[in-house]
Amino acid sequence: MTVWTIRKCNVDIKKMSQDINISEIFAQVLGNRGIYSKKAADLYIKPRIALMHDTMFMKDIEKAIKIIIQAKDENKKVFIYGDYDVDGVTSTVILYKALKQFGCNVDYYIPNRKYEGYGLNKNCISAMKERGCNIVFTCDNGIASVDEAIYIKELGMEFIILDHHEPAFSENGEEDIIPCADAVIDCKQKKCGYPFKMLCAGAMAYKFIKALFEYAGCQIENEAELFVFAAIATVCDIVDLCDENRIIVRNGLRILNSGRRMNTGIKALLECQSLKKKITEETLGFIIGPCINASGRIESAVEAVELFLEEDYDKALLKAKRLVEINEERKKITSDAYERAIDNIENSSVKNDKIMVVYDENIDESVIGIVAGRIKEHYYRPVIVISKGEEFDKGSGRSIDGYNMFENLFANRELFVKCGGHAMAAGLSIEHKNVEVLRKRLNENCMLTEKELTEVIRIDKELVFADLTIELAEELNIMRPFGKENPQALFATKNVLVKALRYVGANQNIIQFIFSDENNINVKGISFRGFDKFKKLIENNFDNKVQNEVFGGSVKNISLFLDIVYTIEINEYNNKKNVQLIIKDFRKSRYHIF
């Protein structure tokens, strides 16, 4: 069950509308997001690069800069040690390209998901040492590498950590457990005074190289290109799109759409996907990002790094096509795994758990994180999906608001071979005998109430169809980029008549509606995920004859009234703009007045 609630805003909407020269509806939306003044609205509407925080406030940033400058002067070999997801790939590319330009002797190492797993391990460290490594520089990992840090020092190498994950902590929770590295850059350290804690590794990598070049008194030749990679990482790692993250993504998209200094690999990837429209955060999150991720899930993330380091466009095009092919393979593997997981849950006691721990040795470990995310959306429960690994079982968790996944796993750390992550997502390695123990412990200690396990849709304002203008839709677009902590504005309208509908898409499960309100104003709407719910609504309220008509695409013989929740978008067709509603939820209306 889903609960609808209207957001409460205690600001003088009329005055705010007049002061900022925006509509009262838009003023209400901004007020709902804690933006009450002209100054706050200006910062939100115009997120300028000049407003980014001073990187030198990051703990150990100057230490790391001095190590790199010395490495350049003494020709020490620096190995960038990344990760196999989008954040790890992009931060590796940023650091590699920038340090190479800076004059460093630099190489990179991306672990294989299947055979080496996430983060540092002694075999990888030894391999880098054999290849002449003097300095290990992690990005998107390292904060949990306590034992590995000792091994690095034993081998006589220097160690820089650049990470954004949560550090482990002491029994009383008051002290971070930090590896013995020469420099540890992680805004989530308790002793780090940086004012914004929600940067991803790609953004931190960009800020580091920017600070490095400024410290050394030189210019980054390809800064715009590297800034774009930070934007891709920020969207795809699903960090809060506020403060600096909003600045990075908004301006990264602006650079991408200008075509100025576009990375050859990104250009090739866009070409392979036939993307000719304006590039948005959806382009990054649902088209570019999955292709990068797929390389690390199915084969090797090295392929994605090589694509973005390639300067020859024809060669880049071949590499990009390969990533698209791999992503198509990943989609099929994910779909099959998800359907099997849902079937297993429905036929087991896991369905009744508050914390779902799902084990399936047949799920490819490369997609367990995606499957966990989809199961979480389906049941609105924290979910950990575990599959059989090469040596240990591998798990990936996705959480809901109010349940800190990392803290709850870390409280049971003795069960794991390895564990890391943050509040909303985590990864782990575990002996098989401990899987059921983990499930029992997490559920026995779970403090989530039924209320907290009920998804809440927070609506910005109730509207009538006369409010739905092109001008309002364009005004709301100022809020882009949308994402975590900056969701698209949600509106509701009650008691609308379904005047017409049809089913489209490869599986005929996307519903296109024409709605009409009491003033006989018609508006088009589309539901991408509501087919199953709509089918159940019809089956529960109408006889077989009417059901057959509705499922055949006809509503001529019924009066179907719905309450709908939606976002507002502009649909362009034949050079004409129209308002279109993206339906997020609906229910049968309780009253009919026309």
Is the full-model pTM beyond 0.95?
no
For 147-200, the DSSP string reads: HHHHHHHHTT-EEEEE--SPPEE-TTSSSEE----SEEE-TTSTT---S-----
Alpha-helical (H) ranges within 237-358 are 243-258, 264-272, 281-283, 289-298, 302-309, 313-346
| Pair (79, 210) in one structural domain | yes
pLDDT in tens, 396-420: 999 998 999 999 999 999 999 988 8
C-alpha to C-alpha distances, 208 to 37, 202, 421, nearest whole angstrom: 33, 10, 22
pLDDT at 353: 97
Confidence of residue 421 (pLDDT cuts 50, 70, 90): confident
The DSSP bridge partners found for residue 430 are: 393, 416
- In the chain, the percentage of residues whose pLDDT exceeds 90 is 84
> Is 457 in a helix, a strand, or coil?
strand
Q: State the average pLDDT over residues 15-25.
A: 93
pLDDT at 593: 55
pLDDT at 163: 97
| Pair (529, 554) in one structural domain | yes
Please check whether residue 33 is in contact with residue 45, taking contact to mean a CB–CB distance below 8 angstroms: no
How many CB atoms lie under 10 A from the CB of residue 556? 7
CA atoms of 321 and 380, how far apart (whole Å): 36
Give me the chain's average pLDDT, please.
94
pLDDT at 115: 82
| Pair (89, 171) in one structural domain | yes
CA atoms of 126 and 331, how far apart (whole Å): 35
pLDDT in tens, 186-230: 999 999 999 999 999 999 999 999 999 999 999 999 999 999 999
Please check whether residue 580 is in contact with residue 569, taking contact to mean a CB–CB distance below 8 angstroms: yes
| Pair (388, 511) in one structural domain | no
Q: Which of 168, 197, 220 is the last residue of a domain?
A: 220
Q: State the average pLDDT over residues 134-141.
A: 97
CA atoms of 337 and 124, how far apart (whole Å): 30
| Pair (436, 460) in one structural domain | no
For 24-40, the DSSP string reads: HHHHHHHHHTT--SHHH
Q: Which of 220, 237, 262 is the last residue of a domain?
A: 220
Confidence of residue 173 (pLDDT cuts 50, 70, 90): confident
pLDDT at 592: 61
Give first-to-last CA distance, the chain, whole Å: 28
| Pair (130, 155) in one structural domain | yes
Q: Which of 199, 220, 241 is the last residue of a domain?
A: 220
567 in a structural domain: yes
Query: Domain range holding 101?
Result: 55-220
40 in a structural domain: no
DSSP letter assigned to residue 44: H
Q: Residue 109 maps to which CATH number?
A: 3.90.1640.30
User: Is the pLDDT confidence value at 591 over 70?
Assistant: no
pLDDT at 510: 96
20 in a structural domain: no
| Pair (488, 430) in one structural domain | no
Distant-in-sequence, close-in-space partners of 550: CB < 8 Å, separation ≥ 6:
501, 538, 542, 558, 560
| Number of domains comprising the chain | 3
